[in-house]
């Protein structure tokens, strides 16, 4: 939530943003978690299908299914965001931002349809129309190139080349991100985190790391207990460090040295992805323990089916609420808990409606057409 919407910002910054609040302040790592999970599922499922079909795959259908799965609900969200959102709310934030968002969508909606809104117009204008949808563009672009790595990993003669390719791309991602961080002088530090441009999004290629993970889940289901223990310590330790290591920089008036910012920016996303990849690997191979039991809880199944819709719609719900406010927020934990819980509930209700009226019929139509062809 924008900091200018609070009337007690000094209290928020000095007293509320404490050590444990870092898990919220550095929540952008959750985006990398989504990339890992998306890449993992694509790799795992595609490899299993290739095995079942002796290496054969209907690649045109592979892409058509993905586009049809994402686009109808996505475009309906864009249509609502463009045409109706501007009429929602009466607060001080309504006219300026709502009008700007709608104008941007009317001009550049086609970039969302083509999943290039993170690239055009350069440098993306904060994600373009429906700014949070830059993730979908990235994810679709990774999906398009994923067979290059999956096929290399699938065939025995090229599996080693596939592994090397994945690690080379990850290394290139780290180098490019570090270079951009240094070249543009992006600062690093807890106090600057909210206002700093996140250049890591330029090269989210650590998603390819999950090709390596997905491949190993399919062909390798045993590991030494010592290796497992060490890997758990590494995964939890590195993820904890990434979240909390910058806490002492909260009181610094000057940013950390630029060379350190470049190194940190270059490796932090890939290291986080490696931690998430290990958790997924351990859970899928029977070494997840209580974490696997929690993540496998049946409660998450219906929620997972609505996650895509909740992702598309939750910013609209939040913005709509903010644009009805005629006074500033007064930060208290109870108020923010109520605001968060309300936003989650309303987002999933809206996602359920989107699923019933858009996602369900379009997916049913796809199944009917494919069944008819068979």
The confidence band for 18, taking pLDDT boundaries of 50, 70 and 90, is: confident
Is residue 314 over pLDDT 90?
Answer: yes
Q: What is the mean pLDDT of residues 297-317?
A: 93
- Mean pLDDT of all residues belonging to the chain: 83
Is residue 69 over pLDDT 80?
Answer: yes
Is residue 209 over pLDDT 90?
Answer: no
CB 38 within 8 A of CB 66: no
Residues near 349 by beta carbon (within 8 Å), at least 6 away in sequence: none
CB 337 within 8 A of CB 43: no
Query: Residue 310 is encoded by which pair of tokens?
Result: 């909740």
In this predicted structure, what is the pLDDT of residue 231?
87
Tell me which of 294 and 373 has the higher pLDDT.
Answer: 294
pLDDT digits (tens, 9 = 90+) for 238-269: 999 999 998 887 666 677 889 999 999 999 99
Residues near 218 by beta carbon (within 8 Å), at least 6 away in sequence: 44, 47, 48, 51
> What does pTM read for this prediction?
0.87
In this predicted structure, what is the pLDDT of residue 202?
41
Tell me which of 110 and 326 has the higher pLDDT.
Answer: 110
In this predicted structure, what is the pLDDT of residue 100?
61
In this predicted structure, what is the pLDDT of residue 252?
63
Question: Mean pLDDT: which of 11-20, 85-94, 362-371 is highest?
Answer: 362-371
In this predicted structure, what is the pLDDT of residue 3?
63
Q: How far apart are CA 164 and CA 274, in angstroms?
A: 16
pLDDT digits (tens, 9 = 90+) for 28-60: 899 999 999 999 899 989 999 999 999 999 999
Is residue 91 over pLDDT 70?
Answer: no
The confidence band for 86, taking pLDDT boundaries of 50, 70 and 90, is: low
Q: What is the rounded end-to-end Cα distance, in angstroms, of the chain?
A: 50
Q: Which helix (H) or strand (E) holds 200?
A: none
Q: What is the mean pLDDT of residues 218-226?
A: 55
Is residue 115 over pLDDT 70?
Answer: yes
CA distances from 23 to 20, 28, 270, 354, 365 (A): 6, 10, 18, 30, 42
Q: How far apart are CA 245 and CA 268, in angstroms?
A: 11
Is residue 93 over pLDDT 60?
Answer: no
Tell me which of 78 and 2 has the higher pLDDT.
Answer: 78
Q: What is the mean pLDDT of residues 196-221?
A: 50
Q: DSSP H helical segments within the chain, as ranges?
A: 9-11, 22-25, 29-52, 59-83, 99-113, 134-154, 159-183, 209-219, 225-244, 258-284, 289-295, 300-305, 307-322, 333-354, 360-373
């Amino acid at each position: 939530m924008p900091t200018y919407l609070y009337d007690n910002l000094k209290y928020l910054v000095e007293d509320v943003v404490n050590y444990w609040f870092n898990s919220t302040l550095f929540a952008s790592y959750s985006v990398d978690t989504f990339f890992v999970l998306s890449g993992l599922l694509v790799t795992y499922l595609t490899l299993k299908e290739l095995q079942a079909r002796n290496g054969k795959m209907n690649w045109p259908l592979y892409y058509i299914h993905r586009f049809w799965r994402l686009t109808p609900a996505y475009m309906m969200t864009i249509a609502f965001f463009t045409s109706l959102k501007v009429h929602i709310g009466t607060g001080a934030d309504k006219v300026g931002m709502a009008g700007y968002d709608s104008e941007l969508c009317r001009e550049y909606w086609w970039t969302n349809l083509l999943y290039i809104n993170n690239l055009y117009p350069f440098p993306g204008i904060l994600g373009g129309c429906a700014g949070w949808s830059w993730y979908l563009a990235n994810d679709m672009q990774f999906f398009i190139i994923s067979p290059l790595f999956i096929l290399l990993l699938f065939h025995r003669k090229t599996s080693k080349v596939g592994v090397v390719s994945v690690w080379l791309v990850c290394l290139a991602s780290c180098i490019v991100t570090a270079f951009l961080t240094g070249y543009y002088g992006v600062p690093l530090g807890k106090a600057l985190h909210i206002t700093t441009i996140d250049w890591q999004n330029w090269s989210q290629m650590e998603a390819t790391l999950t090709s390596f993970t997905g491949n190993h889940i399919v062909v390798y289901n045993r590991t030494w207990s010592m290796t497992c223990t060490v890997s758990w310590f590494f995964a939890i330790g590195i993820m904890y460090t990434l979240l909390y290591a910058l806490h002492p920089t909260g009181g610094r008036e000057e940013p950390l040295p630029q060379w350190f910012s470049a190194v940190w920016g270059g490796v932090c996303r890939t290291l986080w992805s490696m931690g998430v990849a290990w958790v997924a690997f351990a859970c899928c191979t029977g070494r997840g323990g209580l974490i696997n039991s929690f993540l496998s809880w049946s409660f998450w199944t219906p929620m997972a089916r609505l996650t895509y819709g909740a992702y598309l719609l939750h910013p609209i719900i939040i913005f709509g609420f903010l644009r009805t406010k005629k006074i500033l927020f007064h930060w208290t934990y109870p108020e923010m808990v109520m605001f968060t819980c309300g936003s989650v509930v309303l987002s999933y209700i809206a996602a359920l409606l989107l699923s019933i009226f858009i996602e369900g019929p379009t997916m049913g139509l796809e199944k009917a057409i494919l069944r008819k062809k068979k």
